Structure 1
């Protein structure tokens, strides 16, 4: 485990040191899902691209429930470690194990049984429906591995160690790429092959993570005992902290599915284009997303240690870097959307359609560069209920209604519908900036 320098020394080097492995992990996670789409795009049909992209969004909507709960664990662990409470740390880990076993089994059954209903709900084109259903069901069978990986990663991030989660996802990514080429490229199993590769890779990654954690148990900042599992209140605390985060991430993904359903009514090409754009977002928003996770852990430990001012300084340091990168991504998506789309497909219609959508969405990257840092800061301070409320307002009061209205306009296009994306991101920025200012005033009043 890496030495934790969150509470002492220079802020920016410590934050960057923690954020880089997170960023690399996000790159690998993006590759992990993006490779499925790229390989299917090269060896399959447009229908297969639509099936994998839409099926992946359905799976992501379930996965964010797990990642949201584990983010709550990361925050609670960070605060407990910052305050030097070892018994509390062990109880939180034990509570996470009990909670996530139940949640993962429930999600597996739900997704397998309702796979076709979920695919029809988002208006998957009929040509892509059988493959989309197959993709969802096969991936759902590996939900227990997704849960276990995220649980272990959440523990390490709470301790200030972002390198170990990177190692876990690196193993999964390598295995997934190899199996994708075998199942899809050689055996031509299309979407089903991509799903089989994903599940197999997740299983291997989980086994390695379990062995790794067992090997370094003497260096962990807590000791698991039977009493750790008997302590009451840990699951309730995880739910109180993690459910708002999970609900926020879940409703964002639901909004993607709703918007995808709206756009799917335009046709197969548009469906594939939006799927590609969503995969690209994971790559293009790497820096803001990594700083969101880094700030959640960094701020949590400093708040636990009573160093709120240091936590705020870390936020501003992250914003400077994140916005600089966001501006470069804005230029790339606005000017070179066709080049980005060609990574996933050689279909000229899909490339042209994706280019138009990316151009209208490009301004989003200027706003999300700051938004993600704000959300990470709020999570670290335990303000997860506000994160949920602002997310609901952004999605259901702005983005979805605006997307629907633009879709219903005469002569509408994918480029016009895409305008809803940056406008909703701007609304989110204004709301979060208002709350940040209010939070800073309240903190200053308490210190006085």
Structure 2
């Protein structure tokens, strides 16, 4: 059964909410990968393993960020063609995006494995943590093609309004991941690398489920004709996908710069910082889901030449996002101590106490400013949907510079808790920049300009 959704008609708030809800549940299950990995590693392998994972956290996030950036860019063009009603051209874009995804997967896998030793040195990973950090990261890098494949397939489905299939894929993959995690770490004693292997296999499962749906959907299925190399489309997709991916890389580099400061503060601080950094994924689940919904909604309406619907949809998304962020923040304030404690082993009481304190403090700071992060996603996604990925790249540079400057100042001062400010002020700077440019672009948008 075809599950595409035309978002150029109907009430924007209802369309956005019902499109985002399956993605939200899917993201919850995707974050379950991370939560299970951290909980099992922290409890089953030990505090050093947890700290090792945290020492390369931003490096591993960059892999996902590159995949999401490129494929989100691809989905913009697919959604715009769907909104225009040009289905043959849409299928050509889907096929050419598949070619780019395959090339990028191999490139990332090769470069990642070759450059990893240098990256660990640049991150200042402590010598006692380096072997575990390298084992985990090398394992995840082997799964880079699976990550790219799943993100490509899910982005194609989202572009035409199918948010239910990625949900089903993530539910099944999460169950597979949990079972394999437990077996690899506790049953087979494979340690931190075993958790990485479980995640890779689960990503393959998720990608396979989404790929089957694309093949079965007559709107999306492409053949040899569409796969013939089309330089113009490949350039177009590269032009719109590269800035989105580059933005995520730049943000990751900024995060790694902060991590180098954190890595100098000791295992207790690193473990606490890591615990909350992993929860960051849970904090932004709804924001990511709304962002995907907004990009699809804006892309389809941009293609259909309906700027007023874009304005109405973004206004509705802003209200919905702020309300959601306030609820999530309240939950974190109330139950944050118990949640962060799940990831921290008590084998060394003094170290555990420090880690729990750091984790909860960081969580409270992020929760207090969560509405800023959610608005950032709203305007970022709206601009992406209109095709202005260059502006979103500049927002990533702003985040990078702010995060880097503050981290450097904190590093010199030695005030550990001040490192939390780097994240918050980076959000504020990027959000203000994106809001200004969104309102400028939407004011100039002409119904015939698409």
Normalised-by-shorter TM-score class:
over 0.9
CA contact (8 A) 2:40 2:181 kept: yes
Aligned-partner Cα distance in 2 for 1:153–1:119: 31
Return closer, same or farther for 1:306/1:117 CA change in 2, 3 Å cut-off: same
The Cα shift of 1:206 comes to 3.0
Matched, 1:405 2:409: yes
1:133-172 aligned at under 5 Å gives the runs 133-172=134-173
SS in 1 for 2:168: helix
Aligned-partner Cα distance in 2 for 1:313–1:400: 36
Equivalent position of 2:275 in the other structure: 276
2:390 to 381, 385, 389: 385
Aligned-partner Cα distance in 2 for 1:17–1:332: 23
Equivalent position of 2:319 in the other structure: 320
The Cα shift of 1:3 comes to 4.3
Matched, 1:26 2:30: no
The Cα shift of 1:231 comes to 2.9
CA contact (8 A) 1:86 1:222 kept: no
Equivalent position of 1:45 in the other structure: 46
- The superposition leaves residues 24-50 of structure 1 with CA deviations (integer Å, 9 ceiling, x where unpaired) of 121111111221111111111111112
The Cα shift of 1:275 comes to 1.6
Equivalent position of 1:179 in the other structure: 180
SS in 2 for 1:402: helix
How much is the aligned-residue C-alpha RMSD, in angstroms? 2.0
Equivalent position of 2:234 in the other structure: 235
Equivalent position of 1:422 in the other structure: 424
Which structure 2 residue ranges, 5 or more long, are not aligned? 346-351
CA contact (8 A) 1:22 1:290 kept: yes
Equivalent position of 1:432 in the other structure: 434
Aligned-partner Cα distance in 1 for 2:291–2:249: 17
Aligned-partner Cα distance in 1 for 2:220–2:210: 17
Number of residue pairs matched?
A: 442
Aligned-partner Cα distance in 1 for 2:127–2:16: 47
Aligned-partner Cα distance in 1 for 2:226–2:152: 20
Aligned-partner Cα distance in 2 for 1:339–1:37: 15
- The superposition leaves residues 183-205 of structure 1 with CA deviations (integer Å, 9 ceiling, x where unpaired) of 11223322111111112222233
User: Which 10-residue stretch deviates more, 46-55 or 378-387?
Assistant: 46-55
Aligned-partner Cα distance in 2 for 1:182–1:272: 24
SS in 2 for 1:114: helix
The Cα shift of 1:329 comes to 3.0
1:76-225 aligned at under 5 Å gives the runs 76-214=77-215, 216-217=216-217, 219-221=218-220, 223-225=222-224
Return closer, same or farther for 1:331/1:207 CA change in 2, 3 Å cut-off: closer
Aligned-partner Cα distance in 2 for 1:121–1:384: 29
The Cα shift of 1:207 comes to 3.2
Return closer, same or farther for 1:193/1:13 CA change in 2, 3 Å cut-off: same
Return closer, same or farther for 1:446/1:363 CA change in 2, 3 Å cut-off: farther
The Cα shift of 1:243 comes to 0.7
Return closer, same or farther for 1:51/1:223 CA change in 2, 3 Å cut-off: same
The Cα shift of 1:446 comes to 8.7
Aligned-partner Cα distance in 2 for 1:176–1:227: 35
The Cα shift of 1:332 comes to 4.1
The Cα shift of 1:444 comes to 7.1
